[in-house]
Amino acid sequence: MRLDGRRIAVGLCGFTAFVNLYMPQALLPMLAQDFRVGAAEISTIITASTLAIAMTAPFTGALADVLGRKRVITAAMIAVIVPTVLVAFAESVPALIVGRFVQGLLLPPIFAVVVAYIGDEWPPAEVPGIVGLYVAGASLGGFAGRFVTGVLADLVGWRGAFLAVAAMTLATAAAVAWLLPREHKFVRSEGLLASLRQMLRHLRNRQLLATYAVGFGVLFNFIATFTYVSFHLAAPPYGFSPTLLGAIFVTYLVGTVGAPMAGWAINRFGRRAFAIATIGVWMCGALALLAPQLPMIIAGLTLCAGCGMLCQAISTGYVTATAGQGRSSAVGLYVTAFYVGGAFGAFLPGLTWNAGGWPATVLMIVAMLAVMALIVAVAWRRPSV
């Protein structure tokens, strides 16, 4: 795929959103120790941002249907720098939660709107590949948000690590403002109320509802896996430091390589068949996390990361293909379902962790994957679209 300014900007949008979203994840054990709280309590800083995203995503999509794509994207990328800096100077868990909540409010205008931009500005046959490029940028951002912060936390402390994320965000915001052209094929909504009415029509579309349910499961499993594996590996017999915990997220890079291939695979095998096969491999990766050997755990995380990114590319592309009009609001609703899943993925596995430890958490992940496969098999259309 030939790279140009638009494609680079799309990848940077995914990178910026996810480097901010996941910047504390590898540092949760360190933060829990510094603030003298438990795993479930410190994980609320993940829940806070995901809930904020879920609350605002459909409305930012509706707003972008009125104001236009690039204007909303670039404004949000600049604004998110402020709460990122505030999180770096937080003195208590409640202050962390507030800062993370504000971060979450500002992320949907970046990633929900850029997916709608893709659906508008590229030919339908190219959309899955471009969405895959966005997901690749998101996976790289998710990796950087964990690995870079993990390394910097050992060197300069977690506050310095978060300030580094703010600096990265400033740089990527400037690049997107320069590289991303103003939209050309965007049809402005008649008004916010008209866009909201379009949103209600999306909620009567069974294909979209099924895709929203799959999106819920994708982030539920991502958050559950990569949040609680940090506590699993920080405890004996592994005893991982923040740098080592950040290093396990190198597994995210398999998504950076694999997600852009989603378009080819969908055209070759069909969207539904490819999604079910991807979820099946994901289940195998989750079960591998139960092994005591570290290489098996890393292999399992690699499969989980790669299949999760593929599944995200498949389902996100399906939203843009299914929603003929009001793509921003359709994607916004998908993002809401996605991040409601993430909020539950941070909270509910904490209960299973407290009740049955890591094995109970993994079994919850496998059960959610089985539900996702059933939804795809029953509710998605047979033809590749």
Q: Specify the number of domains making up the chain.
A: 1
pLDDT band at 326 (very low <50, low <70, confident <90, very high): low
- Is 115 within a domain? yes
- Is 185 within a domain? no
46-60, 104-118, 232-246, 361-375 — most confident range: 361-375
Helix axis angle, 158-179 to 28-35, nearest 10°: 130
pLDDT band at 1 (very low <50, low <70, confident <90, very high): very low
**pLDDT over threshold 90, residue 13:** yes
pLDDT band at 61 (very low <50, low <70, confident <90, very high): low
Query: CB neighbours of 172 closer than 8 A, spacing ≥ 6?
Result: 12, 15, 16, 77
User: Helices in the chain by DSSP H: which ranges?
Assistant: 5-21, 28-35, 39-42, 44-67, 69-79, 81-88, 93-106, 108-121, 127-156, 158-179, 192-202, 206-234, 242-247, 253-258, 262-269, 271-288, 294-322, 327-379
- Is 297 within a domain? yes
In three-state secondary structure terms, 184 is coil
- Is 260 within a domain? yes
- Is 370 within a domain? yes
73-77, 119-123, 137-141, 192-196 — which is least confidently predicted? 192-196
- Is 42 within a domain? yes
CB 74 within 8 A of CB 101: no
| pLDDT value at residue 290 | 96
- Is 124 within a domain? yes
Look at the chain and count its residues: 385
What is the residue range of 127's domain? 5-180+191-379
Per-residue pLDDT tens over the stretch 329-346 = 787 788 889 888 988 888
- Is 326 within a domain? yes
CB 29 within 8 A of CB 304: no
CATH number of residue 369's parent domain: 1.20.1250.20
